[in-house]
Amino acid sequence: MSELIVIAFDTEAAGFDLRTELVKMQKDYLIEMEDVVVVTRHGEDDIKLHQAVNLTAAGAIGGGFWGTLVGLLFLNPLLGAAVGAASGALAGRFTDIGINDDFMKDVAKAVPPGGSAVFVLVRKMTADKVLERLAQVGHGGRVLRTSLSNEQEQKLRDALGNSGEAATAPPPSA
């Protein structure tokens, strides 16, 4: 079962630093993530999602490949590639995998303007080593939400440097 963790920061840079560190930990086989998204907030309603994978581009590449292949069968590979890339990009644009975008936007309203939040969907992890690395990253992140047990959540708060403060995120709408 996957666990959801949401950590908020007062700056955008801190959120992107955490995502970079999580990706490094994944390469070191300390954590296995299904999704990781940095959400930034510039104004009252200016919330942007920075997905780790650009589904539109991935769809266009995959669609272009399959379109070219089908186009070769019908003796028009350029038209096949163009149609395949366009339909793949469109499919990628409307695909939502991992964490629900509307949920992320709702929770991000608890982030101050100029701040960021990192949403991580964790499949599995080596908890002690991950917490040790998170403590080194620092940046004073606040845990907004988790699906972790109370004990695990407290260990995460301790690693981030905030002892027991309560989560301030609004309740989920979904």
29-40 pLDDT per residue, tens: 999 988 889 999
**Whether residue 76 has pLDDT greater than 80:** no
Two tokens, residue 4: 């959801």
Residue with the larger pLDDT of the pair 134 and 44: 134
Query: What mean pLDDT comes out for the span 144-156?
Result: 85
In the chain, what are the domains? 3-52+98-160 (3.40.1520), 55-93 (no CATH)
pTM of the entire structure? 0.67
**Under a CB-based contact definition with an 8 Å cutoff, are residues 65 and 164 in contact?**
no
Nearest to 159 by CA among 98, 139, 29, 174: 139
Residue 56: its pLDDT value, please? 47
> How many other C-beta atoms lie within 10 A of the C-beta of residue 132?
12
